[in-house]
Amino acid sequence: MSIFIDDELCTGCGNCVENCVFSGVEIIDNKAIITENCAFCGACLDVCPVNAILIESEEFKGDKIDLSQYRGVWVIAEHYQNIIHPVAFQLLGKGAELAKELEVNLTFVILGADFDDQLDKISLYGPDQIIYIKSPILKHYYSDLYVEALTDLINENKPEIILIGATPTGRDFAPRIAKRLNAGLTADCTGLEIDQNTRNLLQTRPTFGGTLMATILTPNSRPQMATVRPGIFQSPEKMKKNTEIKKIEYNFKEKDLVSKIVKVIDREKSTINLEEAEIIVAGGRGVGSKENFKMIEELAEVLGAELGGSRVTVELNWLDQDRQIGQTGKTVSPKLYIACGISGAIQHLVGMQNSEIIVAINKDRKAPIFKVAHYGIIGDLHEIVPVLIEEIKKIKNEE
């Protein structure tokens, strides 16, 4: 990749310098100069008023494949103790939108041992087809078997898009399959759309430590594979649908496996369920101290809400790690999210911006959290939160 400045067009206005988070451009003698820190992110291109900056990427030199052979959107499910992970249903919701735009079928793929009784229930989530790969050994997740069976199935059916949960299991098998298929895989997507002109999947995800959102394309290979964290998309409304069910019996042998599951140990169940919570009250550095967090806890308690926080509050040991919301924490989408003393850094926003209603309390009227908030309260949370608690208590007593 190369980047150029057209000296004749450049006016030295400095917009590029102001918008570069990498110190990748400087103004010398009234002209922009690219430095060795440039990360080719393209932020400078977007803000240059005279289009003086140009990024050239090398032409694709691999074998061109016939993209028109690939049709259909697939969602690959995962399960534990015969219960399908909710992210698979959330992906069916998004998958249906993509399939509709592309005018293709939506397929749900499940590998398991004992799902015959659940297939009708799964069809209510809207797939046109369910492919059920059945084998007694698939009661548990085996990386090798998933990679083997799914690679064959994909090669045979040629879907154009494959969506997988960005869970530890999905993150394990997705890249192995992508490598075998020589396909592009974008991890941890927060947005998926179709470019109607090219049928390419526009895969958006945070990048450069969350400072930028990048939209990634896989224009030259198929399928286009994406993983998505739980909670980013909504499960679809259930509906009656004539779903075609295709069952494929596999005769996997345990002796053929490279690894063997000897024992499955349940992790101690956390009582914290941020991903499923309908109301979340979250605190940030603005709360001030661990002691002050009691007030945030009380607000959560009167609302029947879960307690969450920004990464800073975890680093300061005010909250446990499993209450962190954001890029390196949980992704949540409650009906109500109350952010107290949280600035709204992009790494926090990607974890909560899909909440139905966001209320932000912050003393800085320019805090970025107000850009995503539906209701903003500008002021000191130490004055505002106690009033909220009292008012909610009053309303509850009146009921």
Ligand X SMILES: Cc1cc2nc3c(=O)[nH]c(=O)nc-3n(C[C@H](O)[C@H](O)[C@H](O)COP(=O)(O)OP(=O)(O)OC[C@H]3O[C@@H](n4cnc5c(N)ncnc54)[C@H](O)[C@@H]3O)c2cc1C
Asked whether position 24 contacts ligand X by CB under 6 A, the answer is: no
CB nearer ligand X, residue 246 or residue 294: 294
Q: Which DSSP string corresponds to 189-255?
A: ESEEEE-TTT--EEEEEEEGGGTEEEEE---SSSSEEEEE-TTSSPPPPP-----EEEEEE----GG
User: Which stretch, 22-30, 36-44, 236-244, 284-292, contacts ligand X (CB under 6 A)?
Assistant: 284-292
- Alpha-carbon span 143 to 147, nearest angstrom: 6
CB nearer ligand X, residue 120 or residue 380: 380
Asked whether position 43 contacts ligand X by CB under 6 A, the answer is: no
SS3 111: strand
- In the region spanning residues 115 to 174, those forming contacts with ligand X, defined by CB under 6 A, are none
Asked whether position 378 contacts ligand X by CB under 6 A, the answer is: no
Q: What is the smallest separation between the CB atom of 98 and ligand X, expressed in angstroms?
A: 27
By DSSP bridging, strand 201-207 and strand 212-216 are antiparallel
User: Do residues 370 and 376 touch, judged by C-beta distance below 8 A?
Assistant: yes
User: Do residues 351 and 327 touch, judged by C-beta distance below 8 A?
Assistant: yes
How many residues interact with ligand X (rule CB under 6 A)?
Answer: 29
CB nearer ligand X, residue 195 or residue 383: 383
- In the region spanning residues 308 to 367, those forming contacts with ligand X, defined by CB under 6 A, are 310-312, 324-329, 341-343, 345, 347-348, 351, 361-364, 367
Q: What is the smallest separation between the CB atom of 280 and ligand X, expressed in angstroms?
A: 13
Residue number, nearest CB to ligand X: 326
Whose CA is closest to 306, among 266, 352, 343, 349? 352
Write the CB contacts of 180 (distance below 8 Å, at least 6 apart in sequence): 147, 151
- In the region spanning residues 176 to 215, those forming contacts with ligand X, defined by CB under 6 A, are 209-210
What residue type is assigned to position 356 of the chain?
E
Residues at the site binding ligand X, with contacts judged by CB under 6 A? 209-210, 284-286, 310-312, 324-329, 341-343, 345, 347-348, 351, 361-364, 367, 380-382
